[in-house]
Structure 1
Amino acid sequence: MKNNVLSFLLLGAMSLFSLTSCDDGNDYPPQGNSRLSVYLTDAPVAYDAVYIDIQDVRVNYSSDTTNGWQSLGLLRPGVYNLLDFRNGLDTLLISKDLPAGKISQIRLILGNNNSVVVGGTSYPLETPSAQQSGLKLNVHAELVADVEYRLWLDFDAAKSIVTTGSNKYILKPVIRTFTQATSGSIKGIALPAISVKGIYAIQQNDTVAAALPNAVTGTFVLPGLNAGAYNVAIVGDGILRDTTLLGVNVTVGQASNVGTITLR
């Protein structure tokens, strides 16, 4: 069985395998982490443009609203036109691996370069001093290890801009947050770890994910999987035989535990 499994997997998964070993930097979250992607979107509004200067997003894992804030770092700090993200459109602000657990709040840090365009004329958006340290948004999301999540910041521009007359506009952001799990994962223990040369999630003859077990504990994770059934192939070293688990079901937002697999 070993030669057949290896020849099949190497055709479709060699590059994938090189990216997903437990010790390499890779696109998948390591064990015990969740991948969080933060998106900006907007509700319809009757302005020509609404430019918001977004400089950072910070996360708080604790109930302490003063300390414990951690910067996530934006992919592109700067000015965004909210009207570009109406009617279901959005833009990616952050994609980052975070420790699994509960996120109670996030803080949106704005810069000073905010403006609104009305009737073809641009006006500055004044920001109250109380909001210059950041806008605290309640999230209360539970991030499960080895699952990918999306968090949307739904910026309601129509409610966020207050006009006081004399062409003076004040920015008082009204933002709704919501999260969605976008994938599941398969985890387990493969022993003896030193003899396991690769672990693969296979669906319809396609190798979707690959991993190596932890060299000491044998734990492994196949993350970023869409919902469905997968065959999990554990490839041995030629002395111990390969084994395949058939029909492992993956559910979005959950980690499917296949337990301990011992090669013989």
Structure 2
Amino acid sequence: MKIIQLFPAVCAGLLGLAGCAKNDEAANSARLEVRLMDAPGDFQQVVLDVQQIAVNQKCGKEEGGWKTLNFQPQAINVLAYVNGKSSLLVSDDFAPGDLKEIRLILGPGSYVLGRDEQRYPLRTPSGATSGVKLKLEKATLRQHVTFQLLLDFDVAKSIVQRGGWKAGDNKEERYLLKPVVRVVAQDLRCGLRGTVTPANAQPQILAIRSTILGPDTLSTAADASGMYQLSGLAAGTYRVEFFPSTTAPAGEPAYHPAASASIVVVNGQVTTLDPVKLN
């Protein structure tokens, strides 16, 4: 699993594709799903103006090899898709074969709603022209099999405040969108879930897996009841860390970080952790 830093670009929706294979009849096709989920950030809303998605197949028959999918442009609040929830962007028949890249295009209507109740436009350098390109590894569509691409959008890393911006400056100039998106292929179907108390601590949760390329970290936040879920994990052993984002009310025990080590995640299963207390 990789964290991919996207520079000139934009995010988007997928369209119906034909593959490199000549026989693309539905009876002989694979099914391609593309879903969007989110790692939370310190905003009330993060809305992406999704316009288009295309994929590139490893056939080289056409210039660029890009195919566009049928998708109705829409505005998506990515913060609505945490704790295992995801937004289905595309579910379509597709000719079997390898996929090399996925390209996302965002329109000019993306914005964030801050904790200050102010709405700030999101600007993406060169986004509407070149798009955000994500490399795909081991993305092979097989006949009569559904293949899922999960786009895990990291809000905290993707939204960058311009240097030197201060209250009173032009709101249009505050934030840039430089998407950081983790692409999870279909065979990564593991998950972690559990509960944290007290829920008023509003904890952030990190799942950290050691790899030969360094730590692979995913994050989410507990909901109002203290429940959390992380989906789209690779099999392996994780350390799960819990960080309160608020302080305890006066007269109550203080909130403290906590951690659970050596959590084994098995392919195709959701592992439930023991409840965790932060006070």
- Shorter chain as denominator, the TM-score bin is 0.5 to 0.7
* Structure 2 residue matching 1:159: 3-state secondary structure: helix
| Equivalent residue, structure 2, for 1:128 | 125
Equivalent in 135, 150, 153 of residue 151 of structure 2: 153
1:133 CA drift (Å):
2.1
| Equivalent residue, structure 2, for 1:243 | none
1:131 CA drift (Å):
6.0
> When the two structures are aligned, how many residues end up with a matched partner?
154
Structure 2 gap ranges (5+): 1-24, 189-267, 269-279
| Equivalent residue, structure 1, for 2:86 | 90
Structure 2 distance, partners of 1:66, 1:123, is 38
1:88 partner amino acid? G
Q: Deviations over 1:187-213 (max 9, x none)?
A: xxxxxxxxxxxxxxxxxxxxxxxxxxx
| Equivalent residue, structure 2, for 1:177 | 183
Any residues of structure 2 matched to 1:111-260 within 5 Å, and which?
111-118=107-114, 119-129=116-126, 132-140=129-137, 141-164=139-162, 165-166=165-166, 167=171, 168-180=174-186
Q: Deviations over 1:16-58 (max 9, x none)?
A: xxxxxxxxxxxx9421x21011111001111011010111110
Structure 1 distance, partners of 2:37, 2:47, is 13
2:37 pairs with 1:41: yes
Higher-Rg member (1/2): 1
Contact kept? 2:105, 2:127, Cα under 8 Å: no
* Structure 2 residue matching 1:30: 3-state secondary structure: helix
Structure 1 distance, partners of 2:186, 2:26, is 17
* Structure 1 residue matching 2:80: 3-state secondary structure: helix
Contact kept? 2:112, 2:120, Cα under 8 Å: yes
Q: Say which structure is richer in helix.
A: 1
Normalised by the length of structure 1, the TM-score is 0.54
| Equivalent residue, structure 2, for 1:236 | none
Q: Deviations over 1:59-85 (max 9, x none)?
A: 1002769711110122x3111001110
Contact kept? 1:29, 1:35, Cα under 8 Å: no
Q: Deviations over 1:162-203 (max 9, x none)?
A: 001235100111111112159xxxxxxxxxxxxxxxxxxxxx
1:130 CA drift (Å):
5.5
Normalised by the length of structure 2, the TM-score is 0.51
1:79 partner amino acid? A
1:175 partner amino acid? V
1:72 to 1:173, Cα distance in 2 relative to 1, 3 A: same
RMSD: 2.4
1:43 to 1:66, Cα distance in 2 relative to 1, 3 A: farther
1:130 to 1:49, Cα distance in 2 relative to 1, 3 A: closer
Contact kept? 1:39, 1:90, Cα under 8 Å: yes
Q: Say which structure is richer in strand.
A: 1
Structure 1 gap ranges (5+): 1-27, 183-251, 253-264
2:125 partner amino acid? P
Q: Deviations over 1:201-259 (max 9, x none)?
A: xxxxxxxxxxxxxxxxxxxxxxxxxxxxxxxxxxxxxxxxxxxxxxxxxxx9xxxxxxx
1:86 CA drift (Å):
1.1
> What is the percentage of aligned positions where both structures have the same residue?
40
Contact kept? 2:57, 2:99, Cα under 8 Å: yes
